[in-house]
Every structure is written in structure tokens, then in C-alpha cells.
Amino acid sequence: MAYTNHTLLPEALERWSVSLMERLLPRLMEIIYQINKLFLHDVALKWPGDSDRQARMSIIEESDVKQVRMAYLAIVGSFSVNGVAKLHSELLCEGLFKDFYELWPEKFNNKTNGVTPRRWIARANPRMTQLITEQIGYEWVSDLSHIHYLKDCALPENSEFHQKWFDIKQENKARLANLVLDATGVEFDPKAMFDVQVKRIHEYKRQLLNVLHVIHLYIRIKNGDTRDWTPRNVLIGGKAAPGYHMAKLLIKLVNNVADIINSDPDVNSKLKLAFLPNYNVSAMEIIAPGTDLSEQISTAGKEASGTGNMKFMMNGALTIGTYDGANIEILEHVGEDNFFLFGLNADQVAEMQQHYNPQNFIDDDPDLQAVMSLLESGHFNLFEPDIFHDIIASIRSPHDPWLTLADFRSFVDAQKQAAACYRDREAWISKSIMNTASSGYFSTDRTMKEYNEEIWKL
């Protein structure tokens, strides 16, 4: 038998790959330059003599170091370009690819994302599936548009259905509480509001804004400001890219704040915080059915769509969210009375970024002053000096693209509304049912049908 040194195979494969690219790259660039030549000819015919526009639209970036603009190459080579939520598609046409939209308006369209009800309701929430089916039949599983027949069940006179809905939600919350306990050692009370933000850890998704609100609640409790208090379990989960320093620092902050809150006997009966490690799709099948309040708080204009927001909605969670991504369409379908909207919209974000001064928001808001003072005092990093320096600097920076402090007051006010609503059990149950009953549009079946009818034409 011949002996093969397998340790040499990766090196040999890498050398072969490099050699292949060295031979192919000149030919590939020749093809790209030819595509660009033909394309710019079309641009020149549309806008004669507009050399600035030709430079803007060129597939080859004409700078000291020439680069291929891959997104432009993809647009030129495609017959259809779509965003994945209404706002996302509008921003592509009005901003990032405006020149291309003006050249080929017929090429651009919208296809709002969806998720499958077979997995995210029928599989993830079997007791709720049975209750819905008993009420409106089984057709909704294969055609989620039928779910709208559930809206009549949200009416106050359907008290028996409301009690069954509540019991199922409590059972799902107990299941989620067990997951949190096993993964983190933090004990969640199923009678408290389950306030959940699980998604990729990124500054634009603003887990930081969520943590600032938690610190605000902590300060309120320590100051004895607990009249009409709503007990709350806050769960944050997600993964950070390996090289993303700020995302990892955000995870560290969540855990440090959680350690202080959960170990304080004055606080932990009223507020709990946990970071769920190793968040994944299987965990989401337990998280979505057990969530009361879904946190969708990205800076407006930054989220393409989101699909976690749809999974939560289908399972009867109420959304607290910005006017961003598919939140906008969720709001349109469920109605303002069943959604906690806050913050700047995309146009206001663009305007604010021209003159953003976070210190003004701190000076004008005593609650925010208290939060920043406690965070900067080192209270959450007593034995780790300056570990959160970069986070604090980003919050205070006038160049913070996520405008964290600009939305703080509005977020706190919306959270107060959510807390007050949760104390009114019948009102919350009705809104929960309405969210599930209004989720029919967000099925992948609808999304794929639109792709097929308007793009693929299979």
C-alpha cells in the first residue's frame, strides 16, 4: 500500500488554487472590463455627457487602487433586484442604487421575507396549534392566510378561549424558563413578563439600548420607584462574529449587569436578566412560544427585514420596535393598538446624523443621566477597570451611527406602555391573539409565490 502524507494535501491544494487563480484572474478581469464597457455605453446613451454619473455607476471603481464593485456587477448581470422588506426595497431605490433604479426601474421590486408556519407554529407550539385548529380548522397550516379567522377570538366575550390561550402561554413560558435555568443558572418566574431579544449581536441591532433600559429599571428599583411595578425577565441571546470586538464587549456587559441584578435581593424578585449562550434555531423553537414582548429595536433604516420578529408574532408575542425593516409591515397588519412603536424613522435618522450630539440627550433626561453615571462609575465592572471604556465612548460619540441615546427616552416610554398593558391580563391576551391572527402575510408560502409569479415565472 502506498503511503500518503495527508498533512501535505492542504498545502498542495492551496498552491494549486493560487496557481489556478493566477491563470484565471486576467481572463476574468478582461470579461468584467468588457461588461463594464457595454454597460457604460448604455449609461452614456441614457445621460449624454454626464461623466460624473458614469464614474458613479462604473463597475470598476476609478480610484488610485482600482476595485471591482461587486454589487454593481451583480445588478448589471441580473434581470431582477429585490429588497426583502418594503423599507429595504425603498432604501435601495432611493439611496444605495438610485442611479441603477433610474436606469432600470422595471428591474427593482420588493419581496418581503417570510417564515414557515409548519415549523414556527405547528412544530414549535403544538398546544397552540391544536387550540387554533379546534377553532378555525386545519387549513391555516398550509395556507396561513386562513389565520385571520382567529381575529374573532380576540374579542373580550371569548373568555373561555382567552383562558386556554393564557394557559398555553404559561406552559410555554415554563418551558423557556427551564431552558434559561439549564443554560445560565438564572431562574425566571413564568408569572413575570418575558422580554426577549435574540438575534445576531451587532451594534445596529442595539442590544446596548436594551441594556441601558435594564439599568434604568435597576436604578428605579434601588430608588424605591416601584409603584405599579411589572415583574420582568429580560433574555438576550445571540452570537458575535469572531473578530467583532464591540459585539463581544456587549455580551460581556450583558453578563456583568446580569450578575449584579440577579444577586441583589432588593431587585431579583422584580427584575431578572440573562444572556443565553449558544443561541440557535432549536432554542428559538422554545423561545418564540414563550415570549411575551419581542424586542425589535434596530436603528431605523439599518435592518433589511428580520424574520425573528415574524416568528415571535406568529406565536402571540407583542412587538416593541422601531419603524424599520419588516417591523413596518407587522405594524401595518396588526395595527398600532397591538404594537409598541418608538424612536426615529429612517428619514429622521438620516437628518439626525447630520447634527447628532448625544450630550444634549443626557443633559435633557434625568433618567439617562442616572444610567450613564452608574455605567461610568464602574458599578458593573468593579474589578475590571475601564473594560467598558469602548462602549461608553461609542455611546457618547457624536459619530455614533446607531444614535443610541436619541431613541432612549422614546424606548423607555414605550416600555412603560408595554408594562402597563401586561398588568391588564385581558387586554394583553387579546393583543396576543391579534398578533397571531394577523401574521398570515409573513408566511414563506406567500414570499415564494411572489418570487415565482414575478421573478422566476416557473
- Encode pLDDT of 403-422 as tens digits: 999 999 999 999 999 999 99
Catalytic residue chosen out of the listed positions 162, 169, 173, 199: 199
- The per-residue pLDDT for 7 is 55
Q: 169, 205, 213, 216: which is the annotated catalytic residue?
A: 205
311 is catalytic: yes
Catalytic residue among 169, 206, 311, 333: 311
Task: Note the pLDDT tens digit of each residue in 137-179.
Answer: 999 999 999 999 999 999 999 999 999 999 999 999 999 999 9
Q: What is the pLDDT of residues 56-84, one digit of tens each?
A: 999 999 888 889 999 999 999 999 999 99
Question: Which of 200, 252, 409, 446 is flagged as catalytic?
Answer: 200
- Dihedral of the alpha carbons of 212, 213, 216, 218, in degrees to the nearest 10: -100
**Per the residue annotation, which of 184, 291, 307, 404 is the catalytic one?**
307
pTM, to two decimals: 0.93
Q: Residue 25's pLDDT is what?
A: 87
442: Cβ contacts below 8 Å, ≥ 6 apart: 112, 113, 114, 115, 144, 310, 313, 314, 326, 329, 330, 333
Q: What pLDDT score was predicted for residue 1?
A: 47
447 given a catalytic annotation: no
CA separation for the pair 203, 133 (Å, rounded): 40
- For the chain, list residues with pLDDT below 50: 1
How far is 39 from 138, CA to CA, in rounded Å? Answer: 52
Active site residue 205: yes
Contact 407, 181 (CB under 8 A): no
Amino acid at 70: M
